[in-house]
A = this chain, B = another copy of it.
Amino acid sequence: MADPFPREVYVAGVGMTAFGRHEGKHAPELGQAAVTAALADAGLDYSAVEIAYCGHVAQGSTAGQKVLYGVGMTGIPIFNLENACASGTSALRSAVMAVGFGMAKVALAVGFEVMGRGAIPTGGDERLEAVARQGVPALPALFAALFLEHSRRYGTTVEQMAMVSVKNRAYGAKNPRAQFHEPVTIDQVLASREVAPPLRLFMCCPTTSGAAAAVITSADVARTTRHPIRVVASVLQSDPPMTADGLSGITGINSSAARAAYAQAGIGPDQLDCAEVHDCFAIAEIVHYENLGLCPRGEGGRFIEQGLKQARVQVSTSGGLLAKGHPLGATGVAQVVEAVEQLRGESGERQVPNARIALTHCQGFGGAAGVHIFAA
């Protein structure tokens, strides 16, 4: 791959729905709300959009068209991208490439998901689905095994996992669009229902519906918009499924994608002000601290215990998947909404002071590891 992309790329507008249960709502309604908000934020009309990428997992083969036909019927190419939990970041990456390589001056990335109770983000993995059909929460079990291995090697504790949940629930309480608005204590996390020992309910992301959109533009279009944010790195690598018998599935490809992104941006992890990481489970955030180079390998547990003091970075200020929620296809795009608002200084109570550089990281089970970096 010729990277970084040859033309400057900007996020000119972002929008999202609140994340939550959205009982009775359908993907077009949510997706259209996000797209309309993102276009309004950019001050651009839908007719300016030249190509659109729609990330979702189980919404139907032409769900993207159903969303976008409700915004406008302009005949532009509309692609539906599926990549398990990295579907949104796959749409984002495609839109960034479309502008970065000169295919379009205005590209749209939209992610959405309507999830019912019992939805299983297995990415179609037959092994996981077979397990899930037997009533065992397969993904929590896999991440419980990941915790046990990390704990065995590095001494990571259940309390340290609980601290991740406490941090992200505290941020969620400051984010009006998060699914959970109540802060929790370590004791409350440790007293919540056991899902897959030793993982507790509050250490697992909830079932969530929602949508998010980002308008990606060239430099000349960006200059006409109110507050564009530059994309300085965009990486997507394929990700062999995690296995329960070791850490390699979650450490290898995510570390590799992060290294590639830092190289593209010409920065190191010590220069990040904020980062949205794929905290589908509390242990995942701990391991991703290490994958993203925020702390040395094995230090993730101590990193959260010490209040992220080894770095300037603030992590998952949106509340992350744990508190904001995780509507599969929407997540990768919603992370960009948080990054852009932080870099614009528009994050209200959860604003990171003087945020200049933000990272987003998304992982799809069996699918992809995506890392993007944005600069004010």
Contact = CB atoms under 8 A, between A and B. Distances in A.
Given A1-B50, A80-B81, A83-B61, A256 B97 contact: no
A291 to B, nearest CB: 14
A103 interface: yes
A176 interface: no
Contacts of A68: 238
Nearest to A364: B62
A82 interface: yes
Contacts of A123: 60-62
Interface in A93-138: 93-94, 97-98, 101-104, 123-125
Contacts of A368: 77-78
Interface in A57-98: 57-63, 65-66, 68-69, 73-84, 87, 90, 93-94, 97-98
A162 to B, nearest CB: 31
Contacts of A66: 366
Given A1-B51, A6-B102, A104-B1, A367 B84 contact: no
Most chain B C-beta atoms within 10 Å of own C-beta, residue among A58, A60, A76: A60
Contacts of A237: 75-77
Chain A interface: which size bin? 35 or more
A144 to B, nearest CB: 22
Given A81-B79, A101-B103, A238 B51 contact: no
Contacts of A65: 238-240, 366-367
B2 A103 contact: yes
Nearest to A26: B126
For the complex of A and B, list the 7 residue pairs with the smallest distance between their C-beta atoms, beginning with the closest. A60-B124, A101-B101, A61-B82, A77-B236, A80-B82, A62-B367, A62-B123
Given A60-B124, A80-B81, A101-B103, 19 more contacts: A2-B103, A5-B103, A57-B61, A61-B124, A62-B364, A63-B124, A65-B366, A73-B240, A74-B238, A75-B237, A76-B238, A77-B93, A77-B238, A77-B368, A78-B367, A79-B83, A81-B81, A82-B82, A97-B103
